[in-house]
Amino acid sequence: MELVLTDTAVSEVKKFMEAENPGDQGGLRVRVVPGGCSGFQYAMNIEESPADTDEVIEKDGLKVFVDMFSAQYLSGVEIDYVSNVMGSGFTFNNPNSSGGCGCGSSFSA
């Protein structure tokens, strides 16, 4: 599975991790959950360790945990962090999605 985090995204996640201090085994969980107006939503949170069945991806010292269900939807996705006059936050460029909602917070596959 290939999941790409831009340097900017990695930097921002590391800031959140410093604040939460999840320990040496901690990392970022990225997953896809049912919901939103298009069928699926992205979810991210800091966790203390991966689950036994997680795929663990490392980039610049950051561990990213992906469960088996989410992996099928996240392969090839690029996660970035953008900041502009409209606000700032993480964005997902998903070549696997077949559509999305108007607000950009969910997708269909």
Specify if 21 maps to a domain.
yes
* Confidence check: pLDDT of 89 > 80: yes
Phi, psi (deg, nearest 5) at residue 8? -65, -40
Contact 80, 90 (CB under 8 A): yes
* Confidence check: pLDDT of 67 > 60: yes
Comparing 91 with 30, which gets the higher pLDDT? 30
3-state secondary structure of 11: helix
Number of domains composing the chain: 1
Question: Which range is least confidently modeled, 9-18, 30-39, 56-65, 80-89?
Answer: 30-39
Quote the mean pLDDT of the chain: 87
Specify if 107 maps to a domain.
no
Contact 74, 3 (CB under 8 A): yes
Specify if 104 maps to a domain.
no
Predicted local confidence at residue 28, as pLDDT:
97
Specify if 93 maps to a domain.
yes
Reported pTM:
0.85
Containing structural domain, residue 22: 4-97
CATH code for position 90:
2.60.300.12
